[in-house]
Chains A and B, each alone.
Chain A
Amino acid sequence: MNLDMKLVASRGGVTALALVFLALAGMPVGLNPRMLIDPIFSLGYLSLLWIPLVMGGMMSQRVELEGIESEGGGVGEVVAGGLVGLFGGLGLSALVLLVDNFDLRDPLVNWSPQLVEFLSFGRGIGFGLLLWPLIGAGLGAFGAAVRLLPSKVKKPLLAATLTVLGFAIFETFIVDVLEPLENLYANTGGLTVTAAIVLAVLSAGLSAAGAGRQVGKARSSYQLSTGAAHTRQTALLIGGSAAFLIILPMITGKITQELLANIGIFLLLALGLNIVVGLAGILDLGYVAFFAVGGYTTAVLTSPNRGPNFDFLPVLDGRFGWLIAVGISILMAALAGLFIGAPVIRMRGDYLAIVTLGFGEIIRLLFLSDWLNGWFNGAQGITNIPPADFGFAQVKGTDPRAVFYLVLVLAAISIYVSWRLENSRLGRAWMAIREDESVAEAMGINTVNVKLMAFVVGAVLASFAGSVFAAKVGSIFPTSFLILVSIIILVIVIVGGMGNILGVIAGSVVLVGVLGGPKQPGLLQEFSEYKLLIYGALLVWMMLKRPEGLIPNVRRSRELHQEEFLQDAWLRGEVDRDEAASETEAAANGPAPATGGAS
């Protein structure tokens, strides 16, 4: 048993800092009202407790280097995990003492008696002071121990935890879909203790019985199948999910429908950005500009409350008016894409990012300005946008189900277009440019035109979202189009997996669904204050640990992990030794030696 005390100390310090930061950021107190398991476990406690667990778990990470696994440590690692957790707990204890004895409420808004009460479980300071180090040490050790367990035990445990958490977090959604399941939850929200135990036992039992293996088997059989069988299975999958999506809003209430509609709008935006960032590798931070162009064009064409300077245009608020407006929006967005794209397209990636961000701001400032007040009403925005009228149905904000169906159709079109484009000559050209622009050019690709095409296609998809947004919300303001929106869409694309349509769908469902959009609430409404922080942290974490995203695009992840990929290939004897070495060197492009796949 040899402990790396330096590592323990530094990880322990990080744990303590993270816990103290979250406590002072107000997360535990703010999230405390939301019960997960009534009455013993709230989201507030979860927001703190996961840290020692994860940090402890990191102490027993198995390192696989050059294909050789390090020996599992056993007791030593559990002790190290416990120590890390202990440090974290001590940090919280120290915080309790400090908050109780000093008053720093002036700059720190959450430096309050409520924090002390929360951290001492409402039973006096001494109780909290003693309990937190114990909780920390226990969780840290547990986190480290779990990693060392055989997978036979680990998997059911994981399944039970995830199921209980999932049921608790998706409470609104689950009750909305299946009323009888209401019995699982307490009146004040949160699972009842009995329900939690039943769910945990059930899922653990299922997992132990090999349900996970069955799913895995089905998935690999689908991936391995070829020819007609594969086509048939794909058709079945698509048909199944389409039927599910069509039926879903019929059986759910308004809240879920609204949520689905929001997810759809962000999915449209993310699909567009996926083409620009994911396929063509152009980091466009002003993407929200096209969303704004789509929204404002639709608003100007259909609303009677637009700026008086537009009076020469007829108001398209009759039947199919919205559709005509969408057509014109597409045109305007494509023009905007060309206009913004042309000056920046030859710039190097990072310059391009900042300049597009500048363009995004300029467009918002123009919509906001007094100068164009006569056209766009400045800060008052354009109100009274009529619902989208299709003759047989009207799509408006008070009917989120209709919005969802409209978005579903548009998303299906966008997905189909993205999918076809990805495998087309143009899509291959985009990917070639993303991987190496000089080589792509040498291969005869007109890089400028092809990159401009990516801009334009992305812009058009964003304008769809803008048009739907205008009809859904019924009014449009410059504040709906902050740079923030661009960045959130970027996080969705990156977390999901750049360049992968499935990844983008998963990203928008998970992020917008659970955390919510820039102004739209998600399932965890209590998170609204904290979601931007979480978005930022997710972005950094994904870039550091998994730049290819949750559901990676195979080719993209090979690009990002070129060194490791080549190293693995070399170990398997697939790549000629010299060739691999020289390529690795070229990829490293710096003095630091290649460290291999340590993470």
Chain B
Amino acid sequence: MTAAVRAKGAGKTNIDRFLAVLKWGLLGLIAVGLIAFFAQQIAPSNPFAVWAHGEDGATRLTGAQYRDLVVAGLSQGAMYGLIALGYSMVYGVLGFINFAHGEVFMLGAFTGFIVSTKMDDNGWWEGGAFIPALLFTVVVCTIVSTVAAVVMERVAYRPLRNSPRLIPLITSIGVSFVIQNAVILLFGPGAKGYPSNPDWLEERIPFLNIEVKRLLVIIVAAVSMAGLWYFVERTRTGKAMRAVAEDKEIASLMGINVNKTIVTTFAVGGAMAGIAGILWGILFRSVIATTGFLPGIKAFTAAVVGGVGNLAGAMAGGVSLGGAEALGPLMILEPLGVEGVSQLRDAVAFTLLILVLLVKPTGLFGERLSSEDRA
């Protein structure tokens, strides 16, 4: 960052000092929280735990609880990662944050709701017909999300290709608003419940004792990710995408159809968001028009944590964010005596975003940092 270089040259300003205090304060808080957590795991009534929680001391986290938290974090994180891929790819190619990408995910989840209820009405959402029905639903969700992303690009973003950077961002906020409210008007404002999953999906597998549906989510996410990686790294279209991300002008001189490649990028990102949408539906069995908002922002956070523009980073960022969200409240805040920690999950996610931007603005895997890309 040029700012950091400048600051070193010019001596420290008050803001640098403030940021340093904030950074070390947050890191210190995390360290203290972790130490307190381990202390209360070993001795639930150690003096600090008694001070933070009152006479009875803290409650230990059992191994089973811990495992469930980790698995919940991983499955949630896998979905964040899938959504983050869309942010990351669009950011890599066009250099702007597609705020409405969360709505693409929501549309996927909503389509999943409609298709699965219709399936359920015919009795296909159970028994032997479930797997084909699920596959069909995944395909429909993917198609709807892909089309939504492509239409969005065509209508709202293409005319703004060369405008100042904030203009497409503001437009995408508007697009997100429109899609959310259009869904509310068309389908009603209430939460929609998915039909209940077949029993085997709700059970736990032996040995590891993990819920089957969470495992399914993680596996599907991993497979999609692998497919995407193959597409981007090993096919001609993927090569074209990387070339356009590197330099649009030179890519077009090399005979690459830039417009087509950008559409492909949106389409692939939309497809990933669609898969995340149906996975969300299977996992939480409920969708509402505002479902896309928080996961969307968190997926952006995941993309930043992993390093924007980097596919593996997006997935790693998603998983780290999911893990931090699941474990952070109980491993850091709860040992410090904070009440109602589960309400602060979202706050933990945003704090992580701020912390990453303070400590390592390029993210875990971010490498490319030309002045034009991020200043």
Interface residues of A (CB under 8 A from B): 21, 24-27, 106-110, 281, 283, 285, 342-343, 345-351, 353-355, 357-359, 361-362, 365-366, 368-371, 373, 438, 448, 452, 483, 487, 490-491, 494, 529-530, 532-533, 535-540, 543-544, 547, 559-560, 563, 587-592
Q: How far, in angstroms, from A537 to B179 measured CA to CA in the complex?
A: 9
Tell me if B166 and A281 are in contact (CB < 8 A): yes
How far is B160's CA from A507's CA once the two chains are assembled, in angstroms?
23
Query: Which 8 interchain pairs have the tightest Cβ spacing?
Result: A370-B340, A536-B177, A539-B174, A358-B350, A25-B185, A536-B178, A540-B174, A533-B181
Instruction: Please report the C-alpha to C-alpha distance between residue A60 and residue B343 in the assembled complex, in whole angstroms.
Output: 56
Smallest CB-CB separation from A486: which chain B residue?
A: B173
The CA of A322 and the CA of B233, in the complex, are separated in Å by: 63
Taking CB as reference atom, which chain A residue is nearest B353?
Answer: A358
Q: Is the CB of A343 within 8 A of B340?
A: no
B174 to chain A: which residues have CB within 8 Å?
491, 536-540, 543
A547, B15: Cβ atoms closer than 8 Å: no
CB distance from B227 to the nearest CB of A (A): 28
CB neighbours (8 Å) of B19 from chain A are 342-343
C-alpha gap A514/B361 in the complex (Å): 43
Residues of B near A543 (CB, < 8 A) are: 160, 167-168, 170-171, 174
Among candidates A540, A588, A592, residue contacting B171 with C-beta atoms closer than 8 Å: A540
Q: Interface majority SS on B: helix, strand, loop or mixed?
A: helix
Cβ contact within 8 Å between B343 and A365: yes
Closest chain A residue to B294 by CB distance?
A361
Quick check: B338 and A350 within 8 Å, CB to CB? no
Q: Is the CB of B351 within 8 A of A362?
A: yes
Give min CB distance, A86 to chain B, whole Å. Answer: 23
Interface centre among A106, A373, A494 (most CB of B within 10 A): A106
Q: Is the CB–CB distance between B347 and A366 below 8 Å?
A: yes
Q: Which residue of A lies closest to B343 (CB)?
A: A369
Chain A residues with CB below 8 A from B131, complex form: none
CB-CB contacts of B86-99 with A at 8 A, as 1s and 0s?
A: 00000000001100
Q: Chain A residue with minimal CB distance to B114?
A: A107
- Contact across chains for A540 and B343 when beta carbons are under 8 A apart: no
Count residues on chain B whose CB falls below 8 Å from chain A CBs.
67
Min CB gap A46→B, angstroms: 17
**What residues of chain B lie closer than 8 Å to A362, measured between beta carbons?**
346-347, 350-351
Given A533-B181, A591-B249, 4 additional A-B pairs, CB 8 A: A361-B297, A543-B170, A547-B167, A560-B163
Whether A110 lies near B358 (C-beta < 8 A) is no
Q: Least Cβ distance of A598 to chain B in Å?
A: 11
Which positions in B face A, CB cutoff 8 Å? 1, 3, 13, 15, 18-19, 22, 96-97, 113-114, 117-118, 156, 159-171, 173-178, 180-182, 184-188, 248-249, 252, 258, 293, 297, 300-301, 304, 338-341, 343-344, 346-347, 350-351, 353-354, 357-358, 361, 374-375
Chain A min CB distance to B110 (Å): 9
B residues near A354, Cβ cutoff 8 Å:
97, 297, 300-301, 353
Compute how far the CA of A494 lies from the CA of B174 in the bound complex, rounded to whole angstroms: 11
20 A-B pairs, CB-CB below 8 angstroms? A21-B182, A27-B185, A108-B186, A345-B15, A346-B1, A349-B165, A349-B166, A350-B97, A354-B301, A355-B354, A355-B357, A358-B350, A361-B350, A362-B347, A365-B347, A369-B344, A487-B173, A491-B174, A560-B163, A589-B162
List, in ascending order, chain B residues with CB within 8 A of A109's CB: 186-188
Q: Which of A358, A371, A530, A588 contacts B344 (CB 8 A)?
A: A371
Chain A nearest Cβ from B338, distance in angstroms: 5
Which one of A345, A491, A588, A591 has the highest number of Cβ atoms from chain B below 10 Å of its Cβ?
A591
Q: Which residue of A is nearest B23, CB measured?
A: A343
Q: Is the CB of B164 within 8 A of A371?
A: no
Bound: A31/B3 CA distance, A = 54
Inside 8 A of A487's CB, which chain B residues have their CB? 173, 177
Q: Are A588 and B162 in contact (CB under 8 A)?
A: yes
Residue of B nearest to A483 (CB): B293
In the assembled complex, which residues on chain A have CB atoms less than 8 Å from the CB atom of B175?
536, 540
Closest to A599 in B: B159
Q: What's the nearest-Cβ distance from chain B to residue A28, in Å?
A: 12
The reply to whether A539 and B343 contact each other, CB–CB distance below 8 Å, is: no
Report A-chain residues with C-beta under 8 Å of the C-beta of B117.
Answer: 106-107
Cross-chain contact B15 with A539 (CB below 8 angstroms)? no
Q: Is the CB of B182 within 8 A of A533?
A: yes
What's the nearest-Cβ distance from chain A to residue B45, in Å?
23
| A371 and B339 within 8 A (CB) | yes
CA distance A575 to B347 in the complex (A): 53
Contact in complex: B171, A25 (CB < 8 Å): no
Question: Cα distance A346–B19 when bound, in Å?
Answer: 11
CB distance from A270 to the nearest CB of B (A): 15
Q: Which residues of A sit under 8 angstroms from B361, Cβ to Cβ? A: 347
Name B247's closest neighbour in chain A (CB-CB): A591
In the complex, which of the residues B13, B97, B173 contacts A490, with contact meaning CB atoms closer than 8 Å? B173
Contacts of B374 in A (CB 8 A): 348, 351
Min distance, Cβ B27 to any Cβ of chain A, angstroms: 14
* CB-based contact A359/B159 at 8 Å: no
Q: Are B178 and A591 in contact, with the CB atoms below 8 A?
A: no
Q: Tell me, rounded to whole Å, the shortest Cβ–Cβ distance linking A55 to chain B.
A: 15
Distance in angstroms between the alpha carbons of A144 and B77 in the assembled complex: 53
Contacts of B180 in A (CB 8 A): 532, 536
Q: Is the CB of A590 within 8 A of B248?
A: yes
Distance A591 CA – B243 CA, assembled complex (angstroms) = 13
User: Which residues from A are CB-within-8-Å of B13?
Assistant: 448
B181 in contact with A540 (CB, 8 Å): no
Q: Are B343 and A283 in contact (CB under 8 A)?
A: no
Tell me, in angstroms, the Cα distance from A359 to B351 when the chains sit together: 8
Please tell me if the beta carbons of A535 and B339 are within 8 angstroms of each other in the complex.
Answer: no
Known: A345-B15, A365-B347, A592-B162. A529 touches B185 (CB 8 A): yes
CB B215 to nearest CB in A, in angstroms, measures 30
Least Cβ distance of B181 to chain A in Å? 4
- Cα distance A536–B181 when bound, in Å? 8
Q: Which of chain A's residues have a CB closer than 8 A to the CB of B347?
A: 361-362, 365-366, 369
CB atoms of A357 and B297 under 8 A apart: yes
> Is B182 within 8 A of A369, CB to CB?
no
Known: A368-B343, A536-B177. A283 touches B161 (CB 8 A): no
* Contacts known (A283-B169, A487-B177, A540-B178); A591 close to B185, Cβ less than 8 A: no
- Using Cβ atoms and an 8 Å threshold, which residues of chain B touch A346? 1, 3, 15
Contacting pair A365 B344 (CB below 8 A): yes
Contact of A370 with B339 in the complex, beta carbons under 8 Å: yes
Task: Tell me whether B354 and A343 are in contact (CB under 8 A).
Answer: yes
Find chain B residues with CB under 8 A from A342 CB: 15, 18-19, 22
Given the known A-B contacts A448-B13, A494-B170, are A347 and B178 also in contact in the complex, defined by CB atoms under 8 Å?
no
CB distance from A275 to the nearest CB of B (A): 16
Given the contacts A25-B185, A107-B114, A535 and B170 also touching, CB distance less than 8 Å:
no
Cβ–Cβ < 8 Å partners of B162 in chain A: 563, 587-590, 592
| Docked CA distance A404–B171 (Å) | 33
Asked if A343 meets B22 with Cβ closer than 8 Å, knowing A361-B346, A490-B170, the reply is: yes
B96 contacts A350, C-beta separation under 8 Å: yes
Are A353 and B339 in contact (CB-based, < 8 A)? no
Known: A281-B166, A540-B171. A448 touches B15 (CB 8 A): yes
Do A351 and B304 contact each other (CB < 8 Å), given the known contacts A25-B185, A365-B344, A373-B339?
A: yes
Given A109-B188, A343-B19, A529-B185: A350 touches B178 (CB 8 Å cut-off):
no
A343 to B361, CA, bound (A): 12
